[in-house]
Structure 1
Amino acid sequence: MKMLVGNEFTDASDGGVLNVVNPATGQVIDTVPAATREDVKRAVDTAAEGQKAWEAMTLRERTKRLKRFAELVMERRLELGEMLAKESGKPYMAEAVWEADSVAYVIEGSCEVAKHFYGKTMPFGTEPGYDHDIQFTIHEPLGVIACIIPFNFPPAIWSFKVGAALAAGNAVVVKAPSYNPMTILKLHEMLVEAGVPAAVVQCLTGSGSKVGNWLTEDGRIASVNFTGSTQTGIQIARNAAEHLTPYQFELGGNDPFILFGDGDLALAVKEAADQCRNNRQCCTGSKRFIIHNSLKEEFIRRLIEEYLSKEVQGDPMDPRVTMGPMISERAAQEVEKQVRLTVSQGARIVYGGKRNGAFFEPTILDGVTPDMDIARDMEVFGPVWPVIGFDTAEEAIEIANNSNYGLGGGLFSRDIGTCMKAAKALKTGHVAINGSGNFRAAELPFGGGKRMSGNSRESLSAVMEEVTQSKSIVLRYVLEP
């Protein structure tokens, strides 16, 4: 496949390519260009120029084209799902096609919020000297927004970043994920087909460390919107600081899942097991299972017997398969390394623990203590359930908050007082009561409660504030007698 640079889909300026590998088979599916610094500059040049004409279009015309794109996504959802399943390892219908459906929903929603993002009119006569003026605000696009997409939910996260930005009149330069860029490239082909000018939807492929750095170092970028690791976010922030470029980050997490002694055990076990989606490669997935000691043994037993023992790993295109591979063998090796470290610190593997290429078994670790790396700041991005016991509510909250991360969390109790006190005490951006924190409702503001988990509130209800700037206008003396 080719990337979108300039007004056409093209190869890298030096002809370099990256292989896209099916993690389930290890086979090369296709190649994509390895963008050069020259390619990045050309993409920003094109977007900066194209954005002017796109902004000049009526909002009505921009959203008409974006809604046509959403229709194309639904028409080709099976094609998109198959591509995503093969390059990402997601089970085909249950996860990959579902993700294509979510793109259409978010794009349509982005059009609606753009149409209803109103300015303000200030009240008359509140400040001496301005009694005869009309004061109001309007919203304007930022310009060219760099959108850097992660590997775990590429189309879904892409839609949140790109939909509202385009509806508001911005141009975007997208950096597709290195492991699985093909579905993102296909979405850009469909945008152009729907009538969105190629100039305003540039899409780069290649090394994240190279292309991402070149892109975020460019002073013409009006804003950087990044989802990914905290370490990469810190590097992007350094680059952005050179030009005081604003940024919106959604970064790492080590989310707590708290089951109090009076909680619904069956519900908690179901919610814990329901996180097999995408092999638990999810920033907001529960990663520390803080379970009351009176329920801990039963929680582990039921999680294994009722759910994890029934998971079927294999080729994601096989309808019998419920868990595919991780994104790469390298990613599975990292999880294996983290599990070994935790065992060396005193934890026990009570289920799973083995790796086969890019596949890693669902794994439960018991005997995890609050001082272990996995219980604090080591985010495991894979199918691992570390279980930490506790006796008092205060102890559970202390364990949950003892991390540099603060993305989301979930808690289970039949006492609404306990729920609300715990929800207020958790230092996270969102909390689910009687549910895991592993959710992202499209309408609800989503982002970290601590800096290491990011600063964005990317959602349909908040995103327009991140892709526009307010301009104040005063009509002086127009009401003067």
Structure 2
Amino acid sequence: MQMLVGNEFRDSSDGHVINIVNPAYGTVIDTVPAATYEDVKLAIDTAVEGQKMWEEMTIRERTQKLKKFASLCLERREELGKILAMESGKPFWKEAVWELDSVAYTIEGSCEVAKHYYGKTMPIGTEPGYDHDIQFTIHEPLGVLACIIPYNFPPAIWSFKVGAALAAGNAVIVKAPSYNPLTLLKLHEMLVESGVPASVVQCITGRGSEIGNWLMADERIAGVNFTGSTEVGIDIAKNACKNLIPYQFELGGNDPFIVFEDADLDLAVKEAGDQCRNNRQCCTGSKRFIIHNSLKKEFIEKLIEEYLCKEVQGDPLDENVTMGPMISEKAAKTVEEQVKLTVEQGGVVIYGGKRTGAFFQPTIIDHVSPDTDIARDMEVFGPVWPIIGFDTFEEAVAISNHSRYGLGGGVFSRDIKTCMKAAKQLKTGHIAINGSGNFRAAELPFGGGKRMSGNSRESLSAVMDEVTQSKSIVLRYVLE
């Protein structure tokens, strides 16, 4: 498959390609170009010119095209879902097709918030010297935005970054994930088919470190929006600051899942068991299960019996399969090493723990100490449930906050005062009451409560602040 650079889909300037592998079988399903510096420069040149024309269109004209694209997503959801399942390992109906539905919703929502993102009119006669002036603000697009997409939910995360940016009049240069770029390339084909100029929606494939550096080295990039690891985010920020390029990041997490003594245990087990989606390769997936010691044994038993033992691993296109492979064998090996380290630090694997190629069994590790790596700053991006016991409210909160991360979390108690007290004290960007933090409601501001988890509030209710800038206008002496 070719990338969208310039005004057409094309190969890289030197002809080099990257193999895209089906992680379930380790077989090559397609190739994509490995972009060169010349390709990236052409993408920026094209986007800069395209953005000028795109901004001149009315919001009505832009959103008409984007809404047509959203309709196409729903029409072609099964075709796109199959591609996503094959390149990502997501079960076809349960996860891959659903993700395309979410794209359509987010794009449509982005159109609506763009049309209703109002400026402000200042009160008249409050400050001496301005009694005869009318002061107001308008919003303008930033320009060309670099959008760097992760592998775990490529279409869904892409839609949050691209939808509002385009509706507001920006051009985007998308860096597709190296492991699974095919669905995004198809989405860009559909954008062009819907009437969005190709120059406005460049989509580059290739090595992330090289492409990211080339993008950040160009002062014409007006902003960068990145979802991924904290370490990569730090590297991008270092390069972006050389040109004072603004950045919006959603980074790592090690989200707590706290079950207090008076919790509805069946509900807590359900919320913990429902987190097998995408092999727990989720930014907001609960990654530390902090369970009151009086409930810990029963919690583990029910989690295994009612959920984990019922998971079926295999080909994601098989309708009976509930868990496909991880994104790659390399990713599965990383989880394997993390589990091994946790055991060396005193944890005990009581369920699962085995890897076969890119497949990793759902795994429960009990007797995890609060001072271990997994209980603090080691983010496990895979199907692992570390269990950490506690006795007091203060202990649970302290364990939760003893991490450099602060993305999300969940607390369980029948006492709403306990829940709200915990929600107030936990240093995270979002909290679920009697639910896991493993959610991303499209309307709700989403982002880290600590800087190592990012600085963005990407959502339909907040994203317009991140893709536009305010301009103040004064009509002097018009009321004399």
TM-score range normalised by the length of the shorter chain: over 0.9
In the alignment, which residue of structure 2 is the partner of 1:142? 142
In the alignment, which residue of structure 2 is the partner of 1:219? 219
In the alignment, which residue of structure 2 is the partner of 1:376? 376
In the alignment, which residue of structure 1 is the partner of 2:168? 168
Residue deviations 1:351-404 (CA, integer Å, cap 9, x gap): 000000000000000000100000000000000000000000000000000000
In the alignment, which residue of structure 1 is the partner of 2:436? 436
In the alignment, which residue of structure 1 is the partner of 2:256? 256
In the alignment, which residue of structure 2 is the partner of 1:301? 301
In the alignment, which residue of structure 1 is the partner of 2:152? 152
Residue deviations 1:219-240 (CA, integer Å, cap 9, x gap): 1100000000000000000011
Q: Distance in 2 between matches of 1:416 and 1:15?
A: 60
Q: Distance in 2 between matches of 1:324 and 1:211?
A: 30
State the 1:216 CA deviation: 2.0
Matches within 5 A, 1:79-90: 79-90=79-90
Q: Distance in 1 between matches of 2:177 and 2:213?
A: 14
Q: Distance in 2 between matches of 1:115 and 1:77?
A: 26
| Letter paired with 1:362 | P
SS in 1 for 2:274: helix
In the alignment, which residue of structure 2 is the partner of 1:240? 240
Q: Which TM-score applies when normalising by structure 1?
A: 1.00
In the alignment, which residue of structure 1 is the partner of 2:110? 110
Q: Distance in 1 between matches of 2:90 and 2:375?
A: 27
Q: Distance in 2 between matches of 1:260 and 1:359?
A: 33
Residue deviations 1:219-276 (CA, integer Å, cap 9, x gap): 1100000000000000000011001110000000000000000001000000001100
Q: Distance in 1 between matches of 2:469 and 2:453?
A: 24
Contact kept in structure 1, 2:250 and 2:447, CA below 8 Å? yes
| Letter paired with 2:243 | H
State the 1:447 CA deviation: 0.1
SS in 1 for 2:221: coil
Q: Which runs of 5+ in 1 are unaligned?
A: none
In the alignment, which residue of structure 2 is the partner of 1:11? 11
In the alignment, which residue of structure 2 is the partner of 1:181? 181
SS in 1 for 2:178: coil
Q: Distance in 2 between matches of 1:103 and 1:25?
A: 28
Q: Which runs of 5+ in 2 are unaligned?
A: none
Q: Distance in 2 between matches of 1:27 and 1:111?
A: 39
Q: Distance in 1 between matches of 2:273 and 2:212?
A: 35
State the 1:99 CA deviation: 0.1
State the 1:217 CA deviation: 2.0
Residue deviations 1:338-358 (CA, integer Å, cap 9, x gap): 000000001000000000000
State the 1:170 CA deviation: 0.2
Q: Once superposed, which parts of structure 1, at least 4 consecutive aligned residues long, lie more than 4 Å away?
A: none
SS in 2 for 1:145: strand
In the alignment, which residue of structure 2 is the partner of 1:449? 449
In the alignment, which residue of structure 2 is the partner of 1:193? 193
In the alignment, which residue of structure 1 is the partner of 2:335? 335
Q: Distance in 2 between matches of 1:440 and 1:217?
A: 32
RMSD: 0.4
State the 1:148 CA deviation: 0.2
In the alignment, which residue of structure 2 is the partner of 1:268? 268
Matches within 5 A, 1:410-421: 410-421=410-421
In the alignment, which residue of structure 1 is the partner of 2:204? 204
In the alignment, which residue of structure 1 is the partner of 2:97? 97
Residue deviations 1:312-362 (CA, integer Å, cap 9, x gap): 000000000000000000000000000000000010000000000000000
Matches within 5 A, 1:352-371: 352-371=352-371
Q: Distance in 2 between matches of 1:419 and 1:413?
A: 6
| Letter paired with 1:417 | K
| Letter paired with 1:464 | M
Q: Distance in 2 between matches of 1:426 and 1:41?
A: 44
In the alignment, which residue of structure 2 is the partner of 1:289? 289
SS in 1 for 2:86: helix
Worse-matched range after superposition: 206-215 or 150-159:
206-215
State the 1:19 CA deviation: 0.3
Q: Distance in 1 between matches of 2:70 and 2:38?
A: 32
SS in 1 for 2:409: strand
Q: Distance in 1 between matches of 2:268 and 2:218?
A: 47
| Letter paired with 1:6 | G
Q: Distance in 2 between matches of 1:35 and 1:362?
A: 37
In the alignment, which residue of structure 1 is the partner of 2:310? 310
How many residue pairs match? The answer is 480
2:374 maps to 1:386 = no
| Letter paired with 2:429 | G
State the 1:215 CA deviation: 1.3
Q: Distance in 2 between matches of 1:362 and 1:218?
A: 44
In the alignment, which residue of structure 2 is the partner of 1:473? 473
Contact kept in structure 1, 2:216 and 2:243, CA below 8 Å? no
Residue deviations 1:172-217 (CA, integer Å, cap 9, x gap): 0000000000000000000000000000000000011111221122
SS in 2 for 1:174: strand
Residue deviations 1:409-465 (CA, integer Å, cap 9, x gap): 000000011000000000000000000000000000000000000000000000000
